[in-house]
A and B are shown apart, each in its own frame.
Chain A
Amino acid sequence: MNIYINGTGCVSPLETAVEGRLPSAAPLYDNIRLKAAEPDYKQWIDIKMIRRMSRVIKMGVAAAQLSLREAGIQKPEGIITGTAYGCLDDTGVFLTKMINQQEEMLTPTAFIQSTHNTVAGQIALLLECHAYNNTFVHKGFSFEHTLIDSIMQLREGKISNILAGAMDELTNHSFNILSRFNLFKHTAAGEGAACFVLSTEKGPNAVAKLKGVSVLYKPGSYEEVAADIVGFLAAYNCSQEDIDLVITGRNGDPAGDAWYEHVENNVFPSLPVARFKHLCGEYPTASAFGTWMAGRIIASQEVTPAVLFKGNAPSAIKKVLLYNHHDASHHSMILLSIC
Chain B
Amino acid sequence: MSGNDVWVLGGGVICGIGNNVRECITSFRQMKPGMATMQYLSSTHRDSFPVVEVKADNATLAAKSGLPAHISRTALLSAVAAKEAWESAQLGNIREYRVGLVSANTVGGMDKTEDFFAEYLQDNQSGRLRDVVNHECGSITELVADALGIRHHVSTISTACSSSANAIMYGARLLRNNLVDVVIAGGTDALTRFTLNGFNTLMILDQQACRPFDDTRTGLNLGEGAGYIVMVSDAIAQKMDIKPWCKLTGYANANDAYHQTASSPDGIGNYLAMQQAMEMAGIGPEDMSYINLHGTGTLNNDLSEGTAIQRLFGNAVPPVSSTKSFTGHTLGASGGIEAVFAALAVKEGYLYPNAQFSHQMKELSFSPVTTFSEGNVINNVMSNSFGFGGNCSSLVFSKEIS
Contacts and interface: CB of A to CB of B under 8 A. Distances in A.
Given A99-B118, A152-B173, A121 B158 contact: no
Interface in A136-162: 136-139, 141-142, 145, 148-149, 152, 155-156
Contact of B389 (A120, A128, A145): A120
A149 B170 contact: yes
B132 interface: yes
Nearest to B201: A108
Interface in A100-117: 100, 102-104, 106-108, 111-117
B218 interface: no
Contacts of B259: 125
A117 B159 contact: yes
Interface string B247-271: 0000001111111110000001100
Contacts of B45: 103
B367 to A, nearest CB: 29
A149 B177 CA distance: 10
Interface in B190-231: 193-194, 197-198, 200-202
A235 B117 CA distance: 46
A139 B198 contact: no
Given A112-B388, A128-B257, A137 B136 contact: yes
Contacts of A113: 260
B129 A116 contact: no
Contacts of A102: 44
Given A130-B269, A132-B253, A139-B138, A94 B194 contact: yes
Interface string A123-137: 011011111111111
A217 interface: yes
B257 A95 contact: no
A121 B177 contact: no
B43 interface: yes
A26 interface: no
A108 to B, nearest CB: 4
Interface stretch (A174-182, A196-204, A244-252): A174-182
B124 interface: yes
Interface in A16-54: none
Contacts of A138: 137-138, 141, 154-156
B198 A114 contact: yes
Nearest to B177: A152
B159 A133 contact: yes
B391 A117 contact: yes
Interface in B372-402: 387-391
A125 B117 contact: no
B125 interface: yes
Contacts of A104: 44
A171 interface: no
A263 to B, nearest CB: 19
Contacts of A115: 106, 158, 160, 388-389
A155 B177 contact: yes
Interface residues of B, number: 65
A217 B158 contact: no
Contacts of A122: 260, 389
A336 interface: no
A100 B121 contact: yes
A141 B159 CA distance: 17
A124 B257 contact: yes
Contacts of A79: 255
Given A133-B159, A133-B253, A84 B129 contact: no
A121 B201 contact: no
B249 to A, nearest CB: 15
Nearest to B104: A137
Contacts of B176: 156
A248 B159 CA distance: 31
A295 interface: no
B388 A103 contact: no
A288 to B, nearest CB: 16
A218 B389 CA distance: 32
B113 interface: yes
B114 interface: yes
Contacts of B170: 134, 149
Given A112-B261, A181-B129, A133 B194 contact: no
A108 B154 contact: no
A121 B255 CA distance: 8
Nearest to A97: B197
B89 interface: no
Contacts of B124: 176
Nearest to B256: A130
B246 interface: no
Given A86-B137, A94-B194, A116 B114 contact: no
B151 interface: yes
A84 B136 contact: yes
Nearest to A108: B201
B194 A98 contact: yes
A134 B253 contact: yes
B139 interface: yes
A141 B138 contact: yes
A269 B253 CA distance: 45
A103 B260 contact: no
A103 B200 CA distance: 10
Contacts of A139: 136, 138-139, 142, 156
A106 B253 contact: no
A85 interface: yes
Contacts of B257: 124-125, 127-130
A135 B106 CA distance: 11
Given A108-B201, A130-B256, A121 B151 contact: no
5 contacts: A106-B200, A108-B198, A122-B389, A138-B141, A181-B133
Interface of B: 43-45, 106, 108, 113-114, 117-118, 120-121, 124-125, 129, 132-133, 136-139, 141-142, 145-146, 151-160, 166, 170, 173-174, 176-177, 179, 193-194, 197-198, 200-202, 253-261, 268-269, 272, 387-391
